[in-house]
Each structure stands twice: as structure tokens, then as C-alpha cells.
Structure 1
């Protein structure tokens, strides 16, 4: 056997390593926890197939309902969530995302669909965007109560729909919001999107980015790795400033969450500026968590700042509409 086949040709630690023989070693986000009833949050979950042909699936979360609960006859706001992981690691089935969705569903009293899109490099971008849009069309197929999933048929309120995601998932949520605005999603009223530590970038340095040069290469190499057909860091897929459709974002409210120590923080603030600059007609809120880094709430979900972030997201969703 040629030992060179085991040579690492691209090291994108802490995400993954690519070997000369084509093997992809994902360094995190490979764990899987089964769907379940979680007694701590009183949330139940199950897994569904969206497209067998394209291997798209989701984990659905719902507050536990019982015969004595008046919520049985009520519709619930619907949250569609897109996980992060640089478009190449993590799934809705990992412990971190399962726990986070349990918490957010319990606190906001929503039904949530956590999407499992195909990941790079086996499935390079724009496949994740295509899968996410297919997932949204699948969700929308339940509007008349005759979709394939009974939870969504019975409990989803399509007048109160939210998209959210973290990091790469926030990037996806943003693009799905634009696609709703440009193409429409019949029967779905997108109230708002929640973008947590969004993976946006650009060729021109802004804010404090130039001071963190040791991390710039990873971000730029990662983008070219997951999207090999890209024109670079000013691709509209990664740089909202270059997207002529930004002003068509198809929701009424946006919550942007940033973290003080996150390299991507300034991109979140700039996104807010861009929406104001182009005259987008909705309401933009932004919250910054002091002393924390990228997606800290997933790695340390029981810290005070994670609870505070969860409360801010909950307030945004429950006070909308």
C-alpha cells in the first residue's frame, strides 16, 4: 500500500482533515444521540426523512402534549433550524444540537424542524443551500394539514414561521430568508430570522479582523474548500454586501447575535449596517455577548451567558407577530 495515500493534504483543524486518498476525517460533530422524550425540558423529538433520494432528513422537536393540556388545540410557532459546522461537520443529531433544540423548544413553546443537509466536501456548496430549500418546501407541504408528518400537520402555525442557525447555519438561514423574499414560499409567513455568530466574510478587512491574522487563513481556506466553484471571499454566498438581493430579505424582523471574542463579530454588526443602508423595511436587533467566543453556547450550554442568549432568542420569537 502506498503510504502517501495516508498523507494529509489539507488540515482544517479543528473541523476536519483531508487525506491524499480522498478520505475525510471529521474531527468533531460525529456523535449521534437518538430522538427521545427529554424529561428535563419536557420536549419530545423524532427523526423524519425529507428526501430519500438526496439523503435529506430532519429531527423534529415539540413540547410534550397531553390530554389535559390546552395546547392540544393550539397551533405553535414553527422554527426551522440550520446547524453550523463550517458546512462540513455536525448534524442535528449530535449531542450539542439535540440539547440546544430541546432548550429552545421548551423555552419558546415552538415546534422545531432541525434540518440535516448534505455536507462538503463530498457534497460541495451550493448543495447545502439546495437541500435547505428543499427542506423548506417539504415543511410548506404541510400547510393544508395533509403533509407526511402528523406533528407539523396538527401543530405548526404557518403564520408564525422563523428561521435560525448558527455560524454556517446562520449563513444558510440568511439565504433561505432571501429566497423566500425573491421566490416566495406559498402559505408561509416568515416572521423573522435569528442569526447566531453568522459565517459571513469578505475580501476587505473590517473592524478588528486585521488584528487576528492567524485565523484569517483558516476562514478563507475553509470557504474555498466547501465551495470550490466560488469566486472568492466576495462571493455573494459568503459576503452579503455583494448580494443584489439583500434588500429582498423576506421577513419582518432580524435578530443578530454576536460574541465579543469571535472573529466573525464585526461581520454581524456590518450585516446590520447593510440592512439599514439598503433601506430594507424590517426591524433589526443585535445583541453582543461579552467575554465569549464563537458558538460558546453550544460548548458551555449551562453558563450564565448561554442562558442569557437563550432568553434573548426566546424574547425575539415570542414577542414577534
Structure 2
């Protein structure tokens, strides 16, 4: 995916017409159509509904549109930021990010930090919670966003939690419901994140199934971007995901909240007890960010 594709996409969305967008971009309409099709292949979902009267965003297109505008805003601001940073020292702060954190919230965090903390240069590393905690101990990360409670020798701040639910294969009887219970999953093949990726999930799932007197056929795996391929490989009836991940990875699979029992995935912010002042500044900036849409409020833990 390239920035020019996102510029073409947002222009078509703004104009509501491929022909008007092509004229504004000084492209031929066939050339613009090819660029949009390439972006749709990269995303893995149709972005526009095409009608004789023009174009409108699909649900997947609407989800991408917000992120694309933020990315383009950051890209457009990059030269000015580079020029303004000349002669000014910026301290690098390394932040770990696990799968499952909403892209939109993360982009909002970066935009806020760029504006409010010009002395901090943030880098991101995608890693599981276990890997992040090890990297913090080794001094390779300054801050971590993790899905397991950090040990006592680290500061821990509870940021937010998201309820898990099931993205259900289209046509399956469960797909017509509005919610599901653990009892509904007996003998169904359910793809879920394994211990390496989200350490607490598989144990809690197995215990919850046992308590409900059912035996779901759990298929634990480590996956991030390729949920559809993993689901097809194991012939899954459903995939255990949060709503925002389901919309991004499986937009045509209905998502149902897991109502009984409720099953939240908590995100903590963690950092060493002894650290640089700029790391504490960035931690405060992350903690001050509004929680993502659909997340439950955080019960504050420890931290400074």
C-alpha cells in the first residue's frame, strides 16, 4: 500500500465520482480505476460501491477512510516537522505494540505526541505481550502496550479493555444472532489466538468451556493479518476476535459479542521504574489519550 493510493482513495471518496476525481488528480479514469483496484487488492475488501450516479464508501472503505486521512495528515506534516527539528535534539522513545490495538487510536496517539511532545521521536515495534516484557527488561523498549498484567517491578497503567466476540462464517446458523454464549459453541471449530500471542486467552477459554459443560473445538494459532487464511486452513466455523479486528480482517463475517461469559481483553501501558524523563512524558501523553471507540473505561492501576 502506497501513500499515492491513499491520496487517490480519499479524493474519490471526497468527489463521490471516479471521473471527477480523475479530473482533479490529472489522471485518466481507467488509470485511476486501476489504482483503486490495486488498493482494494492490498486491503482485501471492496472500498467503493459503484453506481451509475457515482461512488459511495463500503463499510470497509469507511473504516479505511478515517485512517487514510490521519496517515496523509502525518505525511504532509513530515517536511515541516523535519525542518522545525533542525538544530533541536529529539530523544527516541521505543514503544511496543501488540496485535489487537485499534489502528485509529494508535494513529491518534502518534499525532498527539507529535504535536505536544516535539522533543520526543517515537518508534514502534510490533510484538506479543511476552516479547515486549522481555524487551523492556533487556532495555530494548522504553514503553509497552501489553495484554497481560505486568510484573511488580514495572509501572502498570490499565488503559482500556475490549470485549471478545465471534466473527461467524457467513451462512452458519449462529450468523443470524445478535450475541452468543459459551453454550452455543459446543462442537464448533473456533480459531483463537494462542498462548504465545495472548498468554491468558487459551487458559480462560478452556476453563469457561468446562464450566459451561461444552467442548468447543479450539484451534489455537498465532495470527495477525491473515485471519481469513488461518480460518480456511482449519475450516473454522468462527474466529474469536474483537469487533474492530473483525471489521478489518473479516469484514463480510458477522461479528457477535460473547455475552456469557463476558470475555474482555485488557490493555496495560507499562514502563520501567527507573527511566528517562522523556519516557515519562510520553507515558503521560498515552494515558491522556481518549480511549478507543467501543472500549470500556480503565480502572487505574499503578503508575506515575
Under a length normalisation based on structure 2, what TM-score does the superposition of the two structures give?
0.30
Q: Which has the higher helix share?
A: 2
Under a length normalisation based on structure 1, what TM-score does the superposition of the two structures give?
0.29
Larger radius of gyration: 2
